[in-house]
Amino acid sequence: MKKKVKKIVLAYSGGLDTSVILRWLQENYHAEVIAYTADLGQEIDRKKIIRNATNLGVKNIVIEDLKDIFVKDYIFPMIRGNALYEGIYLLGTSIARPLIAKRQIQIAKKFKADAVSHGSTGKGNDQVRFELGYYYFNPKIKIIAPWRDWDFTSRSDLIKYAKKNNIPVPSDKKGAPPFSVDDNLFHTSTEGKILEDPSKQAPEFIFQRTVSPEKAPNKPSYVTIGFKNGDPISINNKKCSPSKLLSLLNNIGGKNGVGRVDLVENRFIGIKSRG
């Protein structure tokens, strides 16, 4: 029997992992789960998120548009600091976690929840990013990290549980589990499957936002970026919001084959990961 909690705020994407976690929290803690989704510029399907959470009995679903806050208060300062991990990783996933953690704690206060939860595994760095953020904003909050706690030992265990609970299981065109993807306005990262073999080249189709440099136009694109206090505020003399500006630059760079990185990083617990 788990320690009694009444309400849990879960960082919820609407996908397989967090939907399984949502049901598992309900079964093991007998608590109300509040599904929280931060829109940071990823391709979120609001209807899907609401449908999947509602089908699991969730009454409170919070979806917030945080794109401008994310870019202005997190991405821009990171760029000003030339922040890189191990000289190459652009920290697109990393910089998003403190904002999500902060809002989860604020949502927990609003709903008088006594616990928060995330879907990060026990092998990666996100578990540390989330939990340091949680404790910074509320040192007394209870943190539930299912991937370190439950009895599932493999992906197949997760899928069996999902099917048992009528949770949709995504698959690629061949019926296999898809790549692990994290995306927001700053980046799209892809991990797993063939990428776990460092001798294999990353397949072209995983690059969702950039064309191959070989297929990029054989002529330059000219862009004028206006700055104020170190932050970009305009493109080609047209002012726009932080999120709009970054989105436009992403499109320009992507069309010109700019923005691809294939790397192996060291994780907090000592293992290596390619993405």
Length of the chain: 275
- Catalytic site residue 274? no
The CB-side HSE value for 25 (13 A sphere, CA atoms) comes to 33
Give the pairing of strands 115-117 and 7-11: parallel
Collapse the DSSP code of 251 into the 3-class scheme (helix H, G, I; strand E, B; otherwise coil) and give the result.
helix
Neighbours of 184 (CB within 10 A): 24
d(CA 19, CA 80): 37
C-beta of residue 146 within 8 angstroms of C-beta of residue 25: yes
Q: Which of 19, 39, 97, 120 is catalytic?
A: 97
C-beta of residue 42 within 8 angstroms of C-beta of residue 15: no
Q: Which of 19, 94, 103, 126 is catalytic?
A: 126
Neighbours of 166 (CB within 10 A): 9
Any idea what DSSP says for residue 175? S
Residue with tokens 């999902």: 162
- Catalytic site residue 120? no
Q: Which of 180, 234, 247, 273 is catalytic?
A: 180
d(CA 42, CA 50): 16
- Catalytic site residue 126? yes
- Catalytic site residue 17? yes
Catalytic residues: 17, 97, 126, 180
